[in-house]
A and B are shown apart, each in its own frame.
Chain A
Amino acid sequence: MEEPLASSSAILDARDVHKRFGHNEVLRGVSLQVQRGEVVCIIGPSGSGKTTFLRCLNHLERIDSGRIEVDGKMIGYRDCPNGTLAELPAKEVARQRAEIGFVFQRFNLWPHMTALENIIEAPVHVRGERERDAVAVAERLLARVGLQDKRDAYPSKLSGGQQQRVAIARALAMRPKLMLFDEATSALDPETVGEVLAVMAELAADGMTMICVTHEMGFAREAANRVVMMDQGVILEEGPPQHFFTNPTHERTRQFLSKIL
């Protein structure tokens, strides 16, 4: 696990990531490699650092040490000749983030824009795509998440599940190499959880590389290639779902699974 993965198909390579908030060390050396097309679900009790780790992957959080590479490029930092890391200029970080989709627990759609405008905003204003082209792509994405009839609706007129599906379409509009889902269904009413999970499962089936922090064990079991258990800022164990859910090695994992399954 500690050895560098020679394989060029690793889209994410995080090594020994440490993150502190004040005196509280939230990540205490997290390493994770994800292959292209793989779906990884990160589970664990709240406070285990899984959301923080996900936010480090697109540099929404700075890290204190370690390194994170996406597609061979270090995220957020560059190597200095003296062996330390220096933060990249904001423009460079923005360019990196544009290639990593992020779906928030609380959707964070922009309320002053319609569903369609939410989706074309970044392609037009970040990538400089022509509006006509961006609209065509956005309409396809809306159809893909089953909301073609909601293109002109404002977020306040959409249910939580619909908002989250628009948020997924908004992230996909940038054609990301990698999609990060931060408890994408935790803020939803139970009856709309399914529609969002269905969209995520479809994405997974289409070959999108996904890292999902989730409490949805059903989804992890069905859609994930690998399940990662985090606890107290470290990865406790990982493995394919069938093995992971039936025969976890760690006592802590067993306890956690027994509580939520």
Chain B
Amino acid sequence: MVPAINADWSIVAERIFSPDAIFWRALATTVTIAVVAQVAGVLLGLLSALAGLSRFWPIRALAAAYVLVIRGTPLIVQIFFVFYGVNLFLGLPFNLFPREVEILGLTIPGAAIAGTVALAINEGAYMSEIIRAGIQSVDPGQMEAALSVGMTRPLAMRRIVLPQAARVIVPPLGNEFNGMIKNTSLLAFIGVYEMFFDAEVHYSTTFKPVEYFLAVAFWYLVLTTIWTLIQMQIERRLNPAEETREGGVMARVRRLQWGRAH
């Protein structure tokens, strides 16, 4: 037996160079869910990181439990739990994720919302650790100086600590988003029509796994490559070696600062 590569390249080429409108919608769904879930995950992570640094132990314990449970269980289980389980679990009198929801004139399937929520919750646990490490990388003297001029802790966190922590947070955040793009494919299992679901539909009607899964793998690679290029740009701007122009890296960090710039 001589191993041979068996693929109908015309199908692969068609899926890559002239995909149909349904595919483009699926790609848009993938990107949208990834972005929304990542943004929500960062916010959840920030909340959890701040809770983890709280002076009150019950709040710290809550944050620790969240991180422990989410990081210690499979993402696919979390997705199924949210979509199939949460309504029963919480005993809600209404369906949290109905078949379709109207938001801003758009009809969005409940599964997509449930999936986005699950991905965001999952991402929050990982971001929590990244953000906590970022905050702890800032010299405690920075916070003390802020307190000494009369800032409250929240203000000092926003104006002084987080802008400096961002420098440490951004590179791993980029890697997280790369993972997020790929993880959206798991939502196919709860029926979200994203890129992988689209490939599955074609596979199940044609029984040509090689062509359709190769093609969809290509598209994931395109998305993650584009993101990697963007990430390199961002990191280049945050790189200390770039300390050439006036202000250097810290001037750029400052642009990430919350609130008004001077």
Contacts and interface: CB of A to CB of B under 8 A. Distances in A.
Interface in B35-88: none
Given A108-B144, A112-B163, A90 B149 contact: no
A98 B149 contact: yes
A158 interface: no
B254 A112 contact: yes
Interface string B236-262: 000000010011101101100101001
Nearest to B247: A154
Nearest to A106: B141
Interface string B175-213: 000000000000000000000000000000000000000
Contact of B142 (A99, A108, A174): A108
A97 B163 contact: no
A170 B149 contact: yes
Given A125-B155, A125-B159, A131 B262 contact: yes
A126 B151 contact: yes
A109 interface: yes
A108 B141 contact: yes
Given A104-B145, A117-B262, A154 B251 contact: yes
Contacts of A114: 247
Nearest to A99: B150
Q: Which residue, of B145, B146, B151, B259, has the highest number of chain A Cβ atoms within 10 A?
A: B145
Interface string A98-115: 111110101011111110
A100 B149 CA distance: 8
A259 interface: no
Contacts of A23: none
Interface of B: 139, 141-142, 144-153, 155, 159-160, 163-164, 243, 246-248, 250-251, 253-254, 257, 259, 262
Interface of A: 58, 60, 90-91, 94-95, 97-102, 104, 106, 108-114, 117, 120-122, 125-127, 131, 152, 154, 156, 167, 170-171, 173-174
